[in-house]
Amino acid sequence: MSEPTVAEATNRIYESLQADNADIDVHIASLKAALKQAGEKEAVFDPTRLPHKNRSGRKLMQAYFRQRGVTVTFSAA
């Protein structure tokens, strides 16, 4: 099985967040591997696709991902 692309890993994270964080740590690890393979430093998420679109929800997500070695930024809405 090949490693997922950054876009595939990001979509799996969106799905996981919608499913009450099911297997989120597994998806973060695959995103981290995909970012490394692509030579990228940070993951970009669309805040409109998040279940908690407010500032505190985004900051919580950034902190959780940062603890697992992934830098998160958000695209302009």
Distant-in-sequence, close-in-space partners of 65: CB < 8 Å, separation ≥ 6: 28, 43, 71, 72
Going 55 to 56 to 57 to 60, the CA torsion angle's sign is positive
Cβ distance 34 to 8 under 8 Å?
A: yes
- pLDDT score recorded for residue 37: 95
The per-residue pLDDT for range 11-59, each reduced to its tens digit, is 999 999 999 999 999 999 999 999 999 999 999 999 999 998 899 999 9
pTM equals 0.91
